[in-house]
Amino acid sequence: MMPRSILAPMPMRWLGLAMSLSCAPLPAQSSVVTVSRVRVAVQQARARLEAGDARAAAAQYDSAVTQLQELPVSSDRTRILSSALFGRAVAVQQQASTAVDSAAPAERLAQQQRIVADFTEAERLDSARFGGAASNNIGIVLREAGDHRGALAAFQRATASADAIRAQFFVHAAQEYAALSLPDSAAQAYRKALRIDSTLTSARAGLLELLSTRFPADSVVAVVTKWSVNPAHGRLVIDALYDLLRSGGRTAGLPDTALTLLAVNFATMGLGPADILRDHETRLLAAVQCVTTEREGGAGAKAPPPPLCVPIREMLGLAARSDARDARTYNRRFDGSRWWTSRVDRLAVWSMLLRSFAAAYDAAGNPGLALAYYEAALARPWTNGPPPPWMDIESIAPMAMLYAERSDGGASLREFLDGVFQGKSMAYEQNDTARLRRMHTALGALFVSRAEWSNGARGALFQLDRMRQMTRRLNDGRLADDKLADPPDLLNQLRVGLCRAGRSAEAGIVLRDVVVGFERSDRAASAPKAACEGAASAQPPARTSHR
Amino acid sequence: MSTRSRVSSSFAEVRHAVHRAMTRAATLSSAILCIVTPARLHADTHHAPVRPRAQVRVEIASKLYRIKLDGGDGTRCGATCSALETALTTRARTAFDARYRFVDWRASGEQMRDTIVVRLRERPRANVEMVVTLNRRAPALSSDSVAVYFDDFLAARSREPSYWDRTQLQKVWADTIEARLDAHASRVISLVIGRLPLLAPVNFPSADSSSRVDVSADSLRAALQPPVSFLVRVVIASTRQRTVYEQNGELRLNGCVEGSGAGQRRYVCRKLEFILTDPVRESANFFAVKASADRITTKSVHLYEYTSAPRNTRSSGLVIPADNP
């Protein structure tokens, strides 16, 4: 039996003049009210709510609740009643949060209690559908009323549900922790949200903002360093790095780190020279206050420019003059790059940026400049021994593809790959597992693109298998939530290649990682369902080598 | 695609944009008045239809793909190719609707001024690329396109016939398109989808104040975090020696978060960048330009950085009822 106070129609005052003002009539009243008719009315109310007409939706939901009172109890009635109560509460809350509030405090409190009562009753009637959502919405109502403790308790209940958007409920809980000055709990809640749904931008943005405002700067650096590998996070990471640049100077070395990480993210996002000039020239110059003040009569010339103006102008100079590079400049002797080429770690970042420019030229149909910039990124030519440690390993595969298109019968490619293998041997001698993993990944990608699968070390199966080995070795020393993951698309290629080579048991093991990888990148629906799915239609492993 | 070559649009285009905005405004206000009185209008801005309408279409322009799908010489998209285009277009609409919710994505078949075209085209001997472009029925504000790697040409050429099964390709290519959209999200929004103009009034800042864009997060289906950025194209009119000169500029409003004032939810933007776009693009001090100008008028308003709110939730976090009771 429902409490009468909950099922009672909303007072006319509460509804305002919604019904009389609305041009669209409510469904015609019928002498026989049936569950089906009310269901239609509830669906119409939902459509109005979705269209933004909360007032009309509230009136229609209210009418549905009243009509359902007249009907005998049944499972259908209970289901629709819970929907109508939930919808009514949402519609009224939405009206309340957007309306100019002239109601007295006591009236507002009464309205809030009615909304909470509707949500509570909807959850009681159908906890499977409204368990998480109703608690979450109660939390929103209490939060907007300034009751952060009550809101937190409601969000905590919501996080315990199995709702599909449970991760979002963790974000709401995190916001309340932050509001209650509990930053550690807030950070933990954001991280839980990301573990459930790594694509949830609001959780990433919230965590970054929290770290920026409540934690030391190196916490932000640690997080953005980790997130810098994924272009999808680029925008958030870049914003956080600009904040660090602006607030630079408080921690030794921090502005330098922020700038180099910014360049890493430009490369991760695949920005070309035009992108950097368009979106970042003004921001970079303003962030460290090296904007010239020509329009203001050169007043800024009195003080020396901040030290970071040098690397910023070097980077912008590279972008501005990029089209004019001739073939000779690829031998890493760029004018005006003293800051970036003065240390090995900066050289590595500079090389990444050069690769990003190369990819942009490649996409724009300029293979000449693409080749020049890839060669610069790889510090080519390697005339005096193996490639240097700062070379950009991710440039290997696209560089090899460009060489393969040359008309010299593959001589450039052979010479290039010999150098790459020489560099890999050195990495083995130095037991540099991280570098080895990247080299095996790059070579795996290259051999997959050339459909060269089974040719020992010069085949995709070998290289991708080694990639997995190196990843496992690196992960042995890492915490559970900090494990490295191989690129899911390459793993998927390995799965298919293993099947084609008759190694279906190993393909089954790889499949598990493929599925996890696709889920992680929000592509679960596209993940293969069986170890050898698609293997029959894949191209057969090539037996020939490029030699 | 040099930045320096991206020059502002002509006055005819400006007129076109203004006329279009006014026409739309007239249509919208009559629609709104049907539901609420003008006095109530400000309280319901969350359903003011500020969202631009557009369609998305997938085109298979690669000759190699066309030949593999239907045979022939690849100059035309044959029956299998067309069916695949239709299926991919349907999937793309769902994908765009989830990612770029500030646009009202309409079904293909409706007459639309604006269409986002996702074109799979090949570059000789290199690869197949996916180009995302905004096509406008009438020539209007300039638009860029984003071209990204889609497939390896040589590998595609040597694939077995069974690879070209339409049902399988539909799944694989739809997944690839979505993955590429995500990897290049910021460029796709700022250079292509964000070029669709919003119907949103802008209040320019005076020194030390904030800019204001009068739309709510719910009306844009935007998440409250991270903040959005707007790009406002402006015309600066100034008089020199009794002659009126007009210059075009772009005001980038960054870090815009939703606030409220006078009962209206709107975006408040504390950071701005200003660029004069003609005769060449150059950074400028907005306040200095504003002080010396006769007037600055808004030509069009666009989203530059944007993240969708999850479906079935409002920007406040309120979960709305599911479709079917």
Average pLDDT, chain A: 84
Q: Among A85, A176, A235, A369, which would you mutate to test the B interface (most chain B Cβ atoms within 10 Å of its Cβ)?
A: A235
Higher pLDDT, B26 or A514: A514
pLDDT for position A7 = 45
- As a whole number, mean pLDDT of residues A40-47 equals 92
**For residues B150 and B127, is the Cβ–Cβ distance under 8 A?**
yes
Taking the CB of residue A476, how many other CB atoms lie within 10 A of it? 9
**Burial of A544 from C-beta contacts in 10 A (0-12 / 13-18 / 19+):** exposed
Contact A165 B36 (CB under 8 A): no
DSSP β-ladder status, B295-305 and B228-240: antiparallel
d(CA A513, CA A521): 12
User: B305 to chain A, minimum CA–CA distance in Å?
Assistant: 8
Identify the pLDDT of residue A333.
58
Question: B168-200 burial, b if ≥16 CB within 10 A, otherwise e?
Answer: ebbebbbbbbbbbbbbbbbbbbbbbbbbbbbbb
Least confident of A271-275, A279-283, B205-209, B212-216: B205-209
> In this predicted structure, what is the pLDDT of residue A338?
86
Beta carbons of A232 and B1 less than 8 Å apart: no
CB contacts under 8 A, B 157-216 vs A, are 158-160, 162-163, 165, 168, 171-172, 174-175, 178-179, 182-187, 190, 216
What pLDDT was estimated at residue B210? Answer: 86
Report residue B143's pLDDT band, with 50, 70 and 90 as the boundaries: low
Is B35 in contact with A295 (Cβ distance < 8 A)?
no
Q: Give pTM, 2 decimals.
A: 0.78
Q: What pLDDT is recorded for position A160?
A: 95
Interface touch A136/B226, C-beta < 8 Å: no
Amino acid at site A126: D
Give A32's pLDDT tier (boundaries 50, 70, 90).
low
Tokens 């090899």: give the residue.
A400
**At A494, which amino acid appears?**
L
| Structure confidence at residue A545 (pLDDT) | 34
- B residues 108..137 contacting A (CB < 8 A): 123, 125-126, 129
Mean pLDDT of A4-16: 43
Q: What is the mean pLDDT of residues B32-40?
A: 26
Residue A308 is given by DSSP the state: T
CA pair distance A205, B287, nearest whole angstrom = 31
Kindly report whether the peptide bond that precedes residue A381 is cis, defined as omega within 30 degrees of 0. yes
The Cα A276–Cα A335 span in angstroms is 19
Kindly provide the residue ranges of all beta strands, DSSP E only, lying in B36-155, ordered along the sequence.
Answer: 53-60, 104-105, 114-122, 127-136, 145-152
Give the range among A72-76, A282-286, A533-537 with minimum mean pLDDT: A533-537
Q: What is the mean pLDDT of residues B92-117?
A: 89
* pLDDT band per the 50, 70, 90 thresholds, residue B151: confident
Instruction: Give tens-digit pLDDT for A430-479.
Output: 999 999 999 999 999 889 888 888 878 999 999 999 999 999 999 998 88
Q: A440 or A105: which carries more pLDDT confidence? A: A440
Chain segment A311-337, per-residue pLDDT in tens: 999 999 989 887 775 544 445 556 678
Position B185 pLDDT exceeds 60: yes
The whole-number pLDDT of residue A522 equals: 66
A-B CB pairs within 8 A amount to: 191
Say if the Cβ atoms of B35 and A51 lie within 8 Å. no
pLDDT tens digits along B217-266 = 888 999 888 899 999 999 999 988 888 889 999 999 988 998 877 667 88
Rounded mean pLDDT of A514-520?
Answer: 85
Residue A274 confidence (pLDDT) above 70: yes
Q: For A132-151, what is the mean pLDDT?
A: 95
How far apart CA B295 and CA B289 sit, in angstroms, is 10
